[in-house]
Amino acid sequence: MAQIITRSQDKHLVRIFLNRDSQGKRHYLNRTITGTKKDAQRWAREHELKRDQNRGENPDTWTSMMTMTVSDFLDKWLEAWRHTTRENTYTSYENLMRLYVRPILGNHLLMQLRPHHVESLYRELKAKGLSGRTIRHVHARLCTAMNWGLTIELITKSPMRSVRGPRIEKKEMHFFTPEEAKRFLAATEQNSWGLLLKFALATGLRPEEYLGLQWSALDLSDPNRGVVHVRKVVIELVKGGGWRWDDPKSRNGVRSVYFPGALVTEFKRHRTRQNEMRLKFGLTYHDNDLVFATGLGNPIGRRFLTFYHFKPTLRRAGLSETMRLYDLRHSYVTLSLLSGVPPKVVSEQAGHARVSFTLDTYAHVLPEEREGASDKLDRFLVFGTAPQ
């Protein structure tokens, strides 16, 4: 028979006996019920019934569920997700739980985990100096884990339902102004991977997209305009090193992107040099059909490109080294919008999920766009010049 201990007029502690362990210690399920005593009695009857049913079918099932710790639960969740997500994504989930959740909540019983425990976790992580973005990632993954627990009926109620994730302070976006972009492009002429850096700025592709670009995906038939067909990406593996092919991050990532004809000629010269390199290394060259490859034909590492080519190019151009490699993509979108390219076209070229995302993320461009639209309308109304 469950014990019901009244804590206050509307709070009652329910204690349900589970079992004795090998040392004879008694284990209980404790749950504080907010409501009347009848509510507490109803909850107790339901869970005693579930306990007895599980004992009849499998004596260990109910006990294991009731004594499962948060750490045990996370093990089960991660194992279930291992085969349904990318390896690097799985590794990032595993690291978030190992570094931030397990040390603080790991030993809590899953059935006794409450919203205030999770909120306490966030406060402790914030006190340790973690950014709101990182804590938000922890929150999102815990929500995913608990929803999975609900789906397979390991838990009957998620402690995350009433927990609000921390607010993320938007970082200031870095991008080139038109004048800075010209200086950067000029500086790439002195870099052995200058074509790669120019291509990144001219297309706005993600690093994993242009580092995994294959010749079969590049159309150089039109001397006035090249086309790259994004169909796959290269993933640098976190565990054990190495790399592998993968699909773009979303269905919008599968797209065709146009780039200036000036780069078409450079690509043709680059291919000639690469063919000479292939012949030089012979059988030791790994022909992965990569446009941008190491001397042995493997993908170029992002860190290598950043520290040995991108940062030095910024220095030569007299630009801030706080710029990240990914900021070439931000610069592409910003400069395209400033140039008057319709937001829908820019969104499609960048592979964004929605035009609204493009407009919201790059709202800093809109005031200048509006000013330009005003100038064009003024010229049309006063001078009779049609808007361009």
Query: What is the full DSSP assignment across 319-373?
Result: --TT--TTHHHHHHHHHHHHTT--HHHHHHHHT-S-HHHHHHHTGGGHHHHHHHH
pLDDT for 229 = 95
- 50, 78: one domain: no
Which residue type, as a one-letter code, is found at position 13?
A: L
Residue 378, pLDDT above cutoff 60: no
pLDDT tens figures, 273-294: 999 988 888 888 899 999 999 9
Q: Identify whether residues 293 and 346 lie together within a single domain.
A: yes
Q: If you count them, how many residues does the chain have? A: 388
3-class secondary-structure state, position 234? strand
Q: Tell me the pLDDT tens digit for each residue of 157-166.
A: 889 988 988 8
Q: Which residues contact 140 (CB under 8 A, 6 or more apart)?
A: 165
Q: Classify residue 268 by burial, with Cβ atoms within 10 Å: 0-12, 13-18, 19+.
A: exposed
pTM over 0.75: no
- 61 and 105 in a single domain? The answer is no
CA atoms within 13 A on the CB side of 310: 23
Residues of the domain holding 126: 70-151
Whether residue 206 is found in the same domain as residue 314: yes
Q: Judge whether 169 lies within some domain.
A: no
SS3 percent helix, strand, coil of the chain, rounded to 5, is 55, 15, 30
Does residue 36 surpass a pLDDT of 50? Answer: yes
Q: 220 and 125, same structural domain?
A: no
Average pLDDT, the chain: 85
| 176-190, 266-280, 297-311, 363-377: least confidently modelled range | 363-377
Say what the pLDDT of residue 373 is.
45
What is the number of structural domains in the chain? 3
Look at residue 165 and tell me if it is in a domain: no
- Asked whether residue 43 falls in the same domain as residue 87, the answer is no
Asked if 231 and 94 sit in the same domain, the reply is no
SS3 label, residue 43: helix
